[in-house]
Amino acid sequence: MGVDLRTRLAHVELPNPILTASGCAGSGRELAQFFDVSKIGAIVTKSVMLAPRAGRPTPRMAETPGGMLNSIGLQGPGIDAFLQRDLPWLLSRGARAVVSIAAGTARDYAELAARLSDASGVTAVEVNISCPNVEDRGQVFACDPAAASAVVEGVRGSLRYDVPVFVKLSPDVTDIVAIAGACVDAGADGLSMINTLLGMAIDTQTMRPVLAGVTGGLSGPAIRPIAVRCIWQVHEAYPEVPIIGMGGVRTGRDAFELILAGASMVSVGTTIFHDPSACVRILRELEEELASRGIERLGDAIGVAHEPRRMPGRRLSGNVQ
Ligand code: DHB
């Protein structure tokens, strides 16, 4: 087939556009028994915070029609253990590591960025400002342009070398383009879209919330049209800003849809839970989707859905659309 799948994570080139989605593959170790983790574009790690954290009480996950709810609560080892143990493991396997960070204050985000600057081998930072499972909705920085901007400025200011900064946005806002613009103006190199939507399920037998944390983030195929819409709107407004697209991708065709909307990379998340080798399968399927349409370079497909439609049999001048 020989499709050129290379893509750009801002100024860093990746061999192909398929990434794991943060939170769905830990730090990549779990996936290594299913496929060679160096073969996909990058591993995006579970959001790491400054301190180790136990997360929310169980149950933390619930199946929903076409998706699932999670209420993990940012469980993790903390940045020190991550840098000592998880990052070196990924690098030893030849994987590219996109490190997701989360914090409760702009100052802590900046501190995390400074700590990552001291480590070598970080391909990019994904700043998770949209975790839905925090105690205080005021900590969902992605819901407010000024708060989002303050976090991005702090991260950018603390990074001592030019590692790409991607900011993960929430679809739970009225105007995602306004939030995207605030992040870009504050120094983001790219955007990751979309995080989970805030949802909830009630057990009709017990008549109580299913999740111990009551609410949770909705992911899976049910949210893919929302991801397509968000990516479309932001690419329309900022066509030069690279986007890591995610939200319910199960097949190469789903990934292709996000690429047509404007994503230059696609993260695969929820589907990993029942198909741990989904990333390599989706990569193969995406290549087939492109090849079958005679598209020789991935870059030629990014954002194509925004172009005026060419009606069969009509000339391009004048009567397009
Ligand atoms: C968690 C859930 C998310 O959807 C997310 O983006 C980050 C963290 C969590 O609960 O740990």
- The pick from 99, 133, 141, 273 for probing ligand 1's pocket by mutation, whose C-beta has the most ligand atoms within 8 angstroms, reads 133
The H or E element containing residue 126 is: strand 122-128
* Residue 100 near ligand 1, beta carbon < 6 Å: no
* Residue 267 near ligand 1, beta carbon < 6 Å: no
Chain centroid to CA 301: 19
| pLDDT on residue 191 | 98
Beta strand ranges found along the chain (DSSP E): 7-9, 12-14, 18-20, 43-44, 61-64, 67-70, 97-101, 122-128, 165-168, 190-193, 197-200, 202-203, 208-209, 215-219, 243-245, 265-268
The amino acid present at 20, given as its one-letter code, is T
- Residue 70 Cα to ligand 1 midpoint, Å, equals 7
| pLDDT on residue 136 | 80
| pLDDT on residue 132 | 86
Peptide bond between residue 59 and the one before it cis (omega within 30 degrees of 0): yes
- Judge whether 160 and 116 are in contact, CB under 8 Å: no
- Judge whether 264 and 238 are in contact, CB under 8 Å: no
| pLDDT on residue 313 | 53
Say whether 125 sits in a helix, a strand or coil: strand
Q: What is the DSSP string of 166-182?
A: EEEPPS-SS-HHHHHHH
Peptide bond between residue 202 and the one before it cis (omega within 30 degrees of 0): no
| Residue 151 Cα distances to 46, 107, 159, angstroms | 19, 8, 13
Hey, what are 211's tokens?
Answer: 């999740």
Work out whether strand 215-219 and strand 197-200 pair parallel, antiparallel, or are unpaired.
antiparallel
| pLDDT on residue 321 | 43
Q: What is the CA radius of gyration of the chain?
A: 19
| pLDDT on residue 318 | 44
* Residue 220 near ligand 1, beta carbon < 6 Å: no
| pLDDT on residue 250 | 98
Q: What share of the chain is helix, strand, coil (3-state, %, to 5)?
A: 35, 20, 45
Catalytic site includes residue 183: no
Q: What is the DSSP string of 54-79?
A: --SPSP-EEEETTEEEE---S-B--H
Residue 119 and residue 85: Cα distance in Å, rounded? 12
- The pick from 22, 48, 61, 74 for probing ligand 1's pocket by mutation, whose C-beta has the most ligand atoms within 8 angstroms, reads 74
Tokens 């997360």 correspond to 55
Residue 183 and residue 135: Cα distance in Å, rounded? 23
* Residue 217 near ligand 1, beta carbon < 6 Å: yes
Hey, what are 289's tokens?
Answer: 């989707």
Of all atoms in ligand 1, which is nearest to the CA of residue 219?
4
- The pick from 20, 196, 200 for probing ligand 1's pocket by mutation, whose C-beta has the most ligand atoms within 8 angstroms, reads 196
Which residues of the chain carry a pLDDT beneath 70? 1, 310-321
Say whether 30 sits in a helix, a strand or coil: helix
- Judge whether 150 and 114 are in contact, CB under 8 Å: no
* Residue 264 near ligand 1, beta carbon < 6 Å: no
pLDDT in tens, 169-220: 999 999 999 999 999 999 999 999 999 999 999 999 999 999 999 999 999 9
Residue 201 and residue 317: Cα distance in Å, rounded? 52
